[in-house]
Amino acid sequence: MRVVVDAYGGDNAPFEIIKGAYLASKELGIDITLTGNQSEIERIIKENSFDFKTELLIVDTDDVISMHDEPTTLLKAHNNSSMALAFKELSEGRADAFVSAGSTGAVVSGATLIVKRINGVRRVAIGSIFPTPPKPTLVLDCGANADCTPDFLQQFAIMGNAYMNAVYGIDKPTIGLLNNGAEEHKGSTLYKETHQLLKNMNLNFNYNYLIILVTLPAPTVLPPSLIENSVPSSKAIGAINLTIIETLSPGITISVPAGNSITPVTSVVLK
């Protein structure tokens, strides 16, 4: 397998990106293609003794699309950027997978307009894996679409089902709809219609999920009931957003200290 990596996308690029690519090649035995300024990439590799044992290719360019650029400039003003060239490596069959820690909007634009969608897929979706025990949870969409229809959410469920089956080997992942309550009648017309679509599909659709985002002051020691649903090693949390996925039955509430905020979020979840 060959993975093409945008060496200039993300924080502390290109050093941290090159370092990550080196560690991935070492651990997984995959071939790597790096896109970006070739002389600087080669200098970083030499100075840090990143001895790639697998085949390493470099696609040279000086252009970079930044977090502040309009995403669609990937196709015109920045069509020779490290990200655009990485997408071209994938779309033209010289790589099997693409990685970038750069602009999310530009990644969505490139995936849609350079690599293009699978026939029949109406919208791309960003999937995020949450390390929930005993098995991981996939939540999508996580930011590619500002507005969704029931059909879009239905397709996200199909795409997520295929991903969990192929990547994690889960034969029939449980599918839920993130909503503002676990009951079937909860939510706006969008979520009621989506619930019915998912119920009538040949998928393991179970119920609505309630997702809660809790913003905690620093430092905060979490109560055991919350720790169980977060990353197992997380006990003292700084001023960050901790995401907790919990299936709630009617009448069950979660108490949080005064001054914290709770916000419902809606999407499709698979586990």
pLDDT tens per residue, range 239-253: 333 333 333 333 333
pLDDT bracket for residue 83 (50, 70, 90) = very high
Most confident of 107-111, 137-141, 229-233, 234-238: 107-111
Q: 81 - beta bridge partners?
A: 63
Question: What pLDDT shows up at residue 151?
Answer: 93
User: Which pLDDT band holds residue 270 (cuts at 50, 70, 90)?
Assistant: low
d(CA 201, CA 192): 15
Residue 131 — very low, low, confident or very high, per pLDDT cuts 50/70/90? confident
Please classify residue 206 by burial: count the beta carbons closer than 10 Å to its beta carbon, then call 0-12 exposed, 13-18 middle and 19+ buried. Answer: middle
As beta bridge partners, residue 57 has 33
pLDDT at residue 209, as a whole number: 56
Q: What is the pLDDT of residues 161-218, one digit of tens each?
A: 999 999 999 888 888 888 776 677 777 888 888 888 888 888 887 766 554 444 444 4
What number is the average pLDDT over the span 55-73? 95
What pLDDT, on the 0 to 100 scale, is given for residue 230?
A: 40
CA neighbor of 84 nearest in space, from 104, 67, 101, 109: 109
Report CA-CA distances (Å) from 56 to 8, 52, 96.
16, 7, 14
Alpha carbons within 13 angstroms on the beta-carbon side of residue 222 total 25
Q: Which residue has the higher pLDDT, 4 or 120?
A: 4
Mean confidence (pLDDT) of the chain: 79
What local confidence, expressed as pLDDT, does residue 268 receive? 54
**Once rounded to an integer, what is the mean pLDDT over residues 12-37?**
96
| Predicted confidence (pLDDT) at residue 114 exceeds the cutoff of 90 | yes
pLDDT single digits (tens) 142-152:
888 888 899 99
